[in-house]
Amino acid sequence: MELTPDILLSAYCQGMFPMGFEDRTHPPGTIFWYDPDPRAIIPLDGVHVSRSLQRTIKQGIYEVRMDTAFASVIKTCAQVHKREGVWITPTIVRGYTWLHQLGYAHSVETWRDGNLVGGLYGVAIRGLFAGESMFSLERDASKVALIHLVKHLRLRQFTLLDTQFMTPHLRRFGAIEIPRREYKERLAAALQVDGSF
């Protein structure tokens, strides 16, 4: 299955997202769609930043850029998080790269001494940002990218930061889980926002 922009955008607007599978039991290009209940989000007005992370940000250890290395970010996420046959497969990479070329998928990157050392990517539709994956090759690099993203989304009047599934890492930033029904209500409201990344 090819992940065209129309398919991806329609899925996000309905609260669904894809994960790829390529292993002994699934042929290349196999896609499964997810609509979790509960759903994890980070409230944009309730993000938690530890003191040590605040110090790292103030020290300016990392340079933060947006959309300057999308292909490198998604490919590094695929390498760092590689599990057998799952998630960021070549089909996923092609689909989100296509979305990026159309202005819907974005990367937030952290750089040090000219090297890409952390980042994240996701999909922006009106007032929704759906975070897909992040990676860190140096201490706090992805965390700095996430805090920069939250500030940017607030500035741009976004209302919903979807993180899909809860993890201990996201919980430390103030992520919460909400019922699917509530997520769909928040999603509908976010899609009415005249937002632009």
Domain assignment of residue 159, yes or no? yes
Which helix (H) or strand (E) segment holds residue 166: the answer is none
* Cα–Cα distances in angstroms (integers) from residue 41 to residues 6, 148, 151, in the given order: 24, 16, 15
Which helix (H) or strand (E) segment holds residue 135: the answer is strand 128-136
CATH of the domain at 113: 3.40.630.70
**Which residues constitute the domain of residue 148?**
5-190
**Is 0.75 surpassed by the pTM of this model?**
yes
Domain assignment of residue 195, yes or no? no
Domain assignment of residue 196, yes or no? no
Report pLDDT digits (tens) over 115-161: 999 999 999 999 999 999 999 999 999 999 999 999 999 999 999 99
What average pLDDT does range 153-179 have in this prediction?
A: 95
The answer to whether residue 84 scores a pLDDT higher than 60 is no
Domain assignment of residue 15, yes or no? yes
What average pLDDT does range 86-113 have in this prediction?
A: 95
> Residue 37: pLDDT band by 50, 70, 90 thresholds?
very high
Question: Pairing mode, if any, of strands 86-87 and 176-178?
Answer: unpaired
Which residues, including other chains, have CB under 8 Å from residue 180's CB and lie 6 or more apart?
Answer: 15, 35, 36, 37, 38, 39
CA atoms within 13 A on the CB side of 196: 0
pLDDT for the residue 48: 86
Q: How far apart are CA 173 and CA 24, in angstroms?
A: 37
Report pLDDT digits (tens) over 42-71: 999 988 888 989 999 999 999 999 999 999
The answer to whether residue 24 scores a pLDDT higher than 80 is no
How many domains does the chain divide into? 1
Domain assignment of residue 197, yes or no? no
The answer to whether residue 2 scores a pLDDT higher than 70 is yes
Domain assignment of residue 144, yes or no? yes
pLDDT for the residue 27: 81
Domain assignment of residue 149, yes or no? yes
